[in-house]
A = this chain, B = another copy of it.
Amino acid sequence: MSEVKTVKYPAERLRDFSQKTFEFFDVPKEDAKLASEVLSMSDIRGIDSHGVARLHTYFDMLENKRINPKPNIKIIRESLSTATIDGDNGLGLVVGPKANEIAMNKASEVGTGWVSVSNTNHYGIAGYYVIRALEKDLIGWSMTNTTKLVAPLWGAERMLGTNPIAIAFPAKEEPPIIIDLATCAAAYGKIEIANRKSDKIPEGWAIDSEGNQNINPEKMINGGALLPLGSDRERGGHKGYGLAIMVDFLCAVLSGANWGPFTPPFALRQEIPEKSVGKGIGHFFGAMRVDAFIDLDEFKMQTDDYIRTMRSTKPAQGTNGPIIPGDPEREAEEIRSKEGIPLVEPVIEELNDISRKTGIPFD
């Protein structure tokens, strides 16, 4: 990546620009602030694909009235430990944090809280939500379904989203364990990068439109699909496929949202599915009070021991040994909170475009 030219911007400045952009479309100030915080955490933690690089898509969706800037977010069913929420087609960046909050409140009351959300939109990084839970010493869960990109094992077309799962566990002296993974073998962004560079992609990432494994990124992009985690039957592709279904059910079938190939896209250029089986996309949040199971301090000390034990694993030849989930993002955060967020030229151009159209100063 060193050959890509970037310009660094302070995180606060990007967050402020995002907030003002949301406010421009009459998103209430507090909601705009929340949404910009979710985007900003993605930038700070080094997940460039989900931060301000997405702001122009949110802009497009709001401008075309595909997203409701002032949703009336409602609990449509609940029990002591659960809630089902209708996000009223609001920003996922607003609906998500509010639904997550409800899960955390339920946990404080009855030990755990579980919330399934329909009628919502792209919610940023799954990791944001579990980090919020960590701040309250809760074990947080976060999942979302997404528009189709992934083939079921033995299928030759896109039927499932990249459907991520995040879960985090608090530690005492060590940093927490933050697991955040999409249930496909590799990210679509990596295929796009390879395509721009005319590179091949590794085996196991994608199929062409006939369902054959293929190392040509262009064939995935034009009518092919990503493979589920595990890639093929021999290496456990049926497992990644099963996990993607699990996420789809918890987020969408359970909430009344669209699932599988009917999940609406998050970009104007992508086609809207002909059939609808629910409302919007779906999320799922969970929160578990550690002390509902075990002493919090005992748990945190064990987490420290766990982390140190994994780090002391004999390293595989040619590596520095295992890392802990969350390490790369924390390292990015340390650098970026000091040095700023590196943006590539096309993203800067998109932000300037927003600035021109809204009058909000940027560059």
Question: Nearest residue in B to A155 (C-beta to C-beta)?
Answer: B313
How far apart are the CA atoms of A325 and B236 in the complex, in Å?
12
Question: B246, A236: Cβ atoms under 8 Å?
Answer: no
What does the 1/0 interface line of A276-313 toward B look like (CB < 8 Å)? 01100000000011101110001100110110011001
Return the contact of A319 from the options B111, B181, B211, B255 (Cβ within 8 A): B211
**Of the 9-residue stretches A33-41, A44-52, A79-87, A344-352, which lies at the interface with chain B?**
A79-87
Number of A interface residues at 8 Å Cβ cutoff, please give it: 89
Given contacts A114-B288, A317-B156, contact A299 B253 (CB under 8 A): yes
- Is A239 part of the contact surface with B, judged by Cβ < 8 Å? yes
Q: A138 at the A/B interface (Cβ < 8 Å)? A: no
Assess whether A322 is in contact with B79, with CB atoms less than 8 Å apart: no
Binds B, one of A24-32, A92-100, A199-207: A199-207
Contact of A253 among B79, B112, B306 (CB under 8 A): B306
Binds B, one of A13-21, A56-64, A227-235, A355-363: A227-235
Q: Which residues of B contact A235 (CB under 8 A)?
A: 185-186, 202, 204-205, 231, 235
Q: Mark A162-200, 1 if CB is under 8 A from B, else 0.
A: 000001010000000101011111100000000000000
Tell me which residues across on chain B come within 8 A of A184, comparing CB atoms.
Answer: 236
Q: Is the CB of A314 within 8 A of B211?
A: yes
**Please, which residues of chain B bring their CB within 8 A of the CB of A239?**
181-183, 229
Known interface pairs A80-B111, A236-B186, A242-B325; A152-B310 also in contact (CB < 8 Å): yes
Contacts of A325 in B (CB 8 A): 238, 241-242, 245
A156-B316, A212-B316, A314-B157 known; A169+B249 contact, CB < 8 A: yes
Known: A114-B112, A288-B82, A320-B154. A313 touches B159 (CB 8 A): yes
Using a CB-CB cutoff of 8 Å, which residues 212-250 of chain A contact chain B?
212, 229-231, 234-236, 238-243, 245-246, 248-249
Among B211, B292, B310, B316, contact of A207 (Cβ-Cβ < 8 Å): B316
The residues of B that contact A139 with a CB separation of less than 8 Å are 249, 254
Contact of A110 with B by CB under 8 A: yes
Could you list 6 A-B pairs, sorted by A, with CB under 8 Å? A78-B292, A82-B111, A155-B314, A181-B236, A202-B235, A211-B316
Q: Sorted from nearest, which 9 A-B pairs have the closest CB atoms?
A: A211-B316, A79-B111, A152-B322, A155-B313, A80-B110, A179-B242, A82-B111, A79-B292, A181-B239
